[in-house]
Structure 1
Amino acid sequence: MPHNPTTSLLDRSRRAVWHPCSQMKAYETQPLLAVARAEGVWLYDTEGRRYLDAISSWWVNLFGHQHPHIKAALKAQLDTLDHVMLAGCTHAPVVELSERLGALTSLGHAFYGSDGASATEIALKMSAHYWRNLGRPGKSRFIGLEHGYHGETVGALSVTDIPIFREAYAPLVRLGATAPSPDARLAAPGRSALDHARDCAAALEAWLQQHHDETAALIVEPLVQCAAGMAMHDAEYLRLARALCDRYQVHLVADEIAVGFGRTGSLFAYQQAGITPDFVCLSKGLTGGMLPLSAVLTTDAIYDAFYSDDTARGFLHSHSYTGNPLACRAALATLELFDASDVLGANRATAQRLDELLQPLHRHAAVESSRRLGMIWAWDIATQDPGFARRYHAAALQQGLLLRPIGRTLYFMPPYVMDDEALVQLAQGALAALEQTLHHT
């Protein structure tokens, strides 16, 4: 039998690589996608077949793979400074990026990590340490939302309410409290999304009345709880949560890791509520999907509480690649692409065109709920098949689409630069994959 390089690569990957968010045994029957290269919105496998990256490689890619402007910025940076420790040193890319992010968020000093979970850890630790520095060490607990997701490190799991991620590690986790989710799908009969947001805010207020003295922060995913199946809520919840946090002296942490940088129709989702959080967590689209980087922005008042001659009052969190120059330069280049054109306006036109093409999917008999915010689409499928997501993923690959439903929720979160050919393929292929999956259930 002739040697097949793709088969060899897949076998080697299963033997040597522990793939994330996966039951490795599943790859015995559902092969990995062996990606050889990428360009624009397309991924190319080792056999030359192409696939539309309709979930932006886990929600990170904004302007397509191999974007020439970001690549050029990285190449120039690589010729001058690849990395230097940020403890006791600084460099132009991290300073420039911090200034830009500060201007965009109206928040002050930026602290850097490598991924979203790290950003969550940083924000939670900063919040609790702030209260400690103010002589209130009892304010060390956190509250998140039902079905919320903020990462899978031990601290992030404390405010993540998705059992499959958390239950195995429960003995290691100091669980935070959970407030009702403003997810509009959970509204009581006769209650609107706005009504439900207000109902959930009232429940949050009742909890804070009892527990604010021990609570450091509330953490929320503004407007869309992504891992909960793209659960969308009214911006009124954020406005009311901001007011409650002010009243009860609790920090508001906006986890913009997935929804930031234009995904919801504004640069940051929280801006649609007209508020400013105490902390903003950023990652994923921060570098346009090129390199791992996360950032936490916070207020000057919080920063000032750490400023002291006493080392122990400082924020001593660190990792070796904090503020890596290459990653910071990629982030700056990504922000320059927003400056160069009306990205949000172009996204509105793209979304309108895709919505027109998606009418057959919106009206499909198996769709229980259809929703969109900005460049995020989601449909809840009426199925009891526990293997729906796996089967749909395989059917979508046959249509040249990379899609991974969350449970029975099919969703798109594509790059912003799809042309009409890609939009047509996405709409038609997603519908065909659904028909094939339901037919074989």
Structure 2
Amino acid sequence: MAQSDLIQRTQAAVWHPCTQMKQQIATPPLAIARGQGVWLYDVDGHAYIDAISSWWVNLFGHANPHINAAICDQLNQIEHVMLAGCTHAPVVALSERLAQLTGLGHAFYGSDGASATEIALKMSFHYWRNHGQGGKTEFISLKNSYHGETLGALSVTDVAIFKDTYAPLLRQSAQVMSPDWRLAEAGESAERYALRAAQDLADYLARHHRQVAAVIVEPLVQGAAGMAMYHPAYLTRMRQLCDEFKVHMIADEIAVGFGRTGTMFACEHAAVRPDMMCLSKGITGGYLPLSAVLVTDDIYSAFYDDSTARGFLHSHSYTGNPLACRAALATLDIFAQDQVLAANRSKADYLDRAAMPLREHPLVANFRRTGMIWAFDVVGAKPDFARDFYLAALEQGLLLRPIGNTVYFMPPYVISEAEIDQLVNGSLIALNQTTVTA
């Protein structure tokens, strides 16, 4: 099928996400035919490194043979059965393995990251209600936070372009200082700034904890804020404050879980266990929609009762889908068998060295890395920088989508050193093509 034909048909029939469709006339989408490893191939045979892991979901490459085989095997057993009143081996095995990895005892499943956020918020409120504290209805998040775009998730999101239009539909929530180290004063360390930001949370909780059900946080990296990174001391202090003031700590590990920050889960950097952990994106290796909210035994016990009304009655038709759970189990197998986290440390060190020309570029500021996430800000970027850089990167065989003036890399873990070199060199060319010095 010709690329032009597929693009015309998609523009006529598909409403693409996070897209002003009129702009697709001038900047049409890529017509992708297949993928292999870190590569995507369009219908005309052009190849692109998927340097953002297809919206941060792909961990072990496209068409991964181990995950393919697991899904094919599951297809011959059971493709789906409702999880209300039924159970099946993949969802049980996945729940057991996630509990072992996190220390959180039960998993409640959804379909995507936003649904995980909705589940966690509802669960927190309902927990307090079951404990006779129905007045704890408020939530706290960080400034510039992102937790999804359904109404509950959007209520704790603080990104204006997503939130402002729907403000009349949303519950009010409180936003406290972000620990993003780019906001530190001159000479202030990332750790000291993180602790100063945590004091803002402490002050708010001291005044309002009786009304607060939970604090929700993206551990270590605020993705939609332009890959805002911060010191783990913030998480350590947050855990202490949540214990002191009796509010839940919800860790939104949707984007940063499954090795992205260098440990299996970002909270491990601070040696803290949240009350709830939201997971999605990489959970199936980028294959199938799945999310989970993992909770402490204390939270689970609050719903365990003779009364149906005290139960958590939230549901999705495809909750705990067997195919998705098998993909997730295969993903965890790869972590266990291939020493992925150790291999990632070596690859990250290599990319750090290869990226020195980018780090030292006169228009690059705040070059930063956490685990397998890199980002830098472009000084003096033009209003259309993100679009122009995206197009220039495509010419270099790279799929990259800057967030404003922030360019970031979040490649699949299977990227090779030669592919890293192409990623860095192509990005440098694209940067020089889309910027002008003062």
Q: TM class, shorter-chain normalised?
A: over 0.9
Question: Does structure 1 conserve the Cα–Cα contact (< 8 Å) formed by 2:144 and 2:157?
Answer: yes
Within the alignment, does 1:291 sit opposite 2:288 as a pair?
A: yes
What is the letter of the counterpart of residue 219 of structure 2? Answer: P
Within the alignment, does 1:215 sit opposite 2:212 as a pair?
A: yes
Question: Does structure 1 conserve the Cα–Cα contact (< 8 Å) formed by 2:381 and 2:435?
Answer: no
Q: Distance in 1 between matches of 2:86 and 2:380?
A: 55
Tell me the TM-score normalised to structure 2 length.
Answer: 0.99
SS in 2 for 1:286: helix
In the TM superposition, 1:79-228 aligns within 5 A as 79-228=76-225
Q: Distance in 1 between matches of 2:119 and 2:5?
A: 41
Q: Distance in 2 between matches of 1:341 and 1:40?
A: 16
Moved over 6 A (4+): none
- Name the structure 1 match of 2:70: 73
- Name the structure 2 match of 1:433: 430
Which string of whole-angstrom CA distances, capped at 9 and with x for unpartnered residues, describes residues 65-106 of structure 1? Answer: 010000000000000000000000000000000000011000
What is the letter of the counterpart of residue 233 of structure 1? Answer: Y
Which string of whole-angstrom CA distances, capped at 9 and with x for unpartnered residues, describes residues 288-344 of structure 1? Answer: 001010000000011000011111100000010000000000000000000102101
Bigger shift: residues 194-203 or 4-13: 4-13
RMSD across aligned positions (CA): 1.0
- Name the structure 1 match of 2:252: 255
Q: Which of the residues 276, 281, 285 maps onto 2:278?
A: 281
Within the alignment, does 1:26 sit opposite 2:23 as a pair?
A: yes
Question: Does structure 1 conserve the Cα–Cα contact (< 8 Å) formed by 2:382 and 2:435?
Answer: no
SS in 1 for 2:22: helix
Per-residue deviation at 1:189?
2.4
Gaps of 5+ in 2: none
Q: Which of the residues 417, 420, 426 maps onto 1:420?
A: 417
How many residue pairs match? The answer is: 438
- Name the structure 2 match of 1:404: 401
What is the letter of the counterpart of residue 283 of structure 1? Answer: S
Q: Distance in 1 between matches of 2:265 and 2:214?
A: 20
Q: Which of the residues 12, 17, 24 maps onto 1:15?
A: 12
Identity fraction in percent? 62
Q: Which of the residues 29, 42, 59 maps onto 1:62?
A: 59
Per-residue deviation at 1:384?
4.1
What is the letter of the counterpart of residue 326 of structure 1? Answer: L
Per-residue deviation at 1:6?
1.1
Gaps of 5+ in 1: none
Tell me the TM-score normalised to structure 1 length.
Answer: 0.98
Within the alignment, does 1:347 sit opposite 2:344 as a pair?
A: yes
Per-residue deviation at 1:175?
2.0
